[in-house]
Amino acid sequence: MKKKIYILLFAGLFILNIDLRSQDVFSQVLSNIELNNTTLKALKEKTDADKIGNKTGINLSNPEVEFGYLWGSPADEGKRVDLAVSQSFDFPTAYRYKSQLSDGKNKQADLTYEEQRRGILQQARLLCVELVYQQKIHDQLTERLQQAKSLSQAYQRSFDQGSIDILEYNKTKLNLLSAEKALQMNEVDMELVKSELIRMNGEQPIEINFRNYPSYLLSINFDDWFDKVKENNPSVQLSEKEIELSKKQEQLTKALNLPKFSLGYTSERVSGTTFQGVAVGVSIPLWEGRNTVKHQKAQTMALQMQYDDLRIQFRNALKNQYVKTYKLSVLLKEYQDALNVTNNKNLLKTALDKGQLSLINYLLELSAYNETVDKYLETERDYQLGVAELHQWEY
């Protein structure tokens, strides 16, 4: 019994640890940007305005009032006063379809905003990935600069003592200059990314001091993963909504091609005699609506084909991204294994100090190792960019 309890406790702690490690370190930055981004604020206002606009034009047309005052000639013929009040309206089912179409357009407006919101936040997430990469590069370049300074100072003393010639000393100075310029360029790149994130945050200060990527476990099976996320693409949802609205528009077009009616009151007063009563009118749909329903059906068919194509393109794009990201994860593991085996910076420095390695060979060996580290960090960055492209569809 105790054994089972220990196993359950261990499992619980293990799951909790995974959950803590997998927390998105970018979440706070993205939340701030969603709150402060001026583009999103403008898009939200436009969405609200569009939703109000979608509620117009769905009611009865305005009533008409007609008044006529006619005097006779000769004068003894008297005067005539006409009055007409009428209300015209479409076939009754048209108003139901107009209301349904209005509600559907409002949902479409919300989906459009969601698509734009996701796009802006995804851009911010990719910038966060780039910033972590630049920070990791910064740490490496800072360490390399310290090494280059130490080496240059040591060779300065040796040169002053006459132990080495000017050529060897100049190599260390060039190595130091290269390290300094690389770090300066890196700091410029970091500031550019930070400035862009601050701009996306509405020029509000933002805490962006993170050094690690979010943990993410790549799904083993693409098809299983895609089945879970395929409905989360606002672009696909928008395309599906357009088909639904087009079908509603078909129904509305049919209703608008049915007879229209008008109902009103009319009166005529001539020489003290009054005629009054009810006026009823009906339009006969012969020519005006010809081909409108046929055209709308063709529109629906075209939208359906676009929807099918969009789903296929979405799946293929994610499949390619998944394959690329998976291959990058394999390559990343290979780099990690290689660096664990070949991390011999200290050995190289010891060999240089003991005179077992020339300065040029030391710099060449160190450069080769640093190049491998840079490739590893680039691969890690590209993998995280791929992960970000996949992860955006999981919520």
User: Which pLDDT tens digit goes with each residue over 211-241?
Assistant: 899 888 888 899 999 999 999 999 999 999 9
Q: For residue 123, which of 393, 365, 392 has the smallest C-alpha distance? A: 392
pLDDT digits (tens, 9 = 90+) for 245-282: 998 888 888 887 878 888 888 888 877 788 888 888 88
Asked whether residue 12 is domain-assigned, the answer is no
According to the model, what pLDDT value does residue 18 have?
35
According to the model, what pLDDT value does residue 12 have?
41
How high is the mean pLDDT of the chain?
85
According to the model, what pLDDT value does residue 20 have?
36
pLDDT digits (tens, 9 = 90+) for 275-312: 888 888 887 777 777 788 888 889 899 999 999 999 99
pLDDT digits (tens, 9 = 90+) for 309-328: 999 999 999 999 999 999 99
Asked whether residue 260 is domain-assigned, the answer is yes
Do the Cβ atoms of 108 and 93 come closer than 8 Å?
no
Q: Kindly report the pTM of this predicted structure.
A: 0.82
The domain that contains 115 carries what CATH number? 1.20.1600.10
- Residue 14 confidence (pLDDT) above 50: no
Rounded Cα distance between 320 and 366, Å, is 36
Please, where are the H alpha helices in the chain?
A: 2-21, 27-36, 38-54, 93-160, 166-200, 222-229, 234-256, 292-342, 345-353, 359-391
Asked whether residue 16 is domain-assigned, the answer is no
Q: Which two tokens stand for residue 188?
A: 């410029």
Which position has the higher pLDDT, 45 or 67?
Answer: 45
pLDDT digits (tens, 9 = 90+) for 167-207: 888 888 998 999 999 999 999 999 999 999 999 999 998 88
According to the model, what pLDDT value does residue 62 have?
83
Asked whether residue 8 is domain-assigned, the answer is no
According to the model, what pLDDT value does residue 234 have?
92
Show the domain range for 156: 25-394
- Residue 1 confidence (pLDDT) above 90: no
According to the model, what pLDDT value does residue 17 have?
37
Asked whether residue 17 is domain-assigned, the answer is no
- Residue 2 confidence (pLDDT) above 70: no
Task: Tell me the sheet residues that pair with 278.
Answer: 265
Asked whether residue 345 is domain-assigned, the answer is yes
> pLDDT band for position 44 (50/70/90)?
very high
Q: For residue 275, which of 138, 83, 68, 73 has the smallest C-alpha distance? A: 83
- Residue 8 confidence (pLDDT) above 50: no
**Residues with Cβ < 8 Å from 351, sequence gap 6 or more?**
357, 362
Which position has the higher pLDDT, 119 or 164?
Answer: 119
Do the Cβ atoms of 259 and 284 come closer than 8 Å?
yes
> pLDDT band for position 142 (50/70/90)?
very high
Asked whether residue 50 is domain-assigned, the answer is yes
How many independent structural domains does the chain possess? 1
Asked whether residue 1 is domain-assigned, the answer is no
